[in-house]
């Protein structure tokens, strides 16, 4: 109240409304500027938190991947050693594919399954 009375005496009744309006606009601009700065700071803080979270997730994923890879390698080695222990004479060599995985081992067209190959149809024995 005291400030308003002093402003009325110093500025005068004619210019006081214009000065008050100008001060109101300046105060509004100052408030908007402060709010914009606060919002920018909050966005930067949130962005930094997201970066840290992403880094944490990536580290966890890398750790999980390396664990899975090491377990796969370990299991593969154990399976290979078991296969060699079970049947060392027929253990597949690393260069040759296993016989169980050979592509389509069906007889050639025109020959029935179970018939000897290379026998002409006239030489077949009746069953």
Contact between residue 19 and residue 11 where contact means Cβ atoms under 8 Å apart: yes
Q: How far apart are CA 63 and CA 70, in angstroms?
A: 11
Contact between residue 115 and residue 124 where contact means Cβ atoms under 8 Å apart: yes
Q: Give the residue-averaged pLDDT of 34-54.
A: 97
More confident residue, 12 or 98: 12
Looking at residue 28, what is its pLDDT? 97
Whether the full predicted model's pTM is greater than 0.85, yes or no, is no
Q: Give the residue-averaged pLDDT of 64-80.
A: 94
The residue whose two tokens read 């002093």 is: 6
Looking at residue 26, what is its pLDDT? 96
């Amino acid at each position: 109240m005291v400030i308003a009375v002093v402003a009325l005496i110093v500025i005068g009744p004619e210019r006081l409304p214009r000065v008050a309006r100008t001060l109101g606009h300046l105060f509004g601009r100052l408030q908007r500027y402060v709010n914009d700065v606060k919002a920018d700071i909050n966005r930067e803080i949130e962005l930094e938190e997201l970066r840290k979270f992403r880094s944490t997730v990536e580290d966890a994923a890398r750790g999980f991947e390396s664990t899975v890879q090491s377990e796969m390698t370990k299991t593969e080695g154990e399976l290979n050693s078991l296969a060699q222990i079970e049947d060392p004479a027929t253990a597949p060599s690393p260069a040759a594919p296993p016989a169980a995985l050979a592509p389509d081992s069906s007889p050639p067209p025109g020959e029935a399954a179970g018939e000897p190959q290379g026998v002409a149809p006239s030489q077949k024995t009746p069953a």
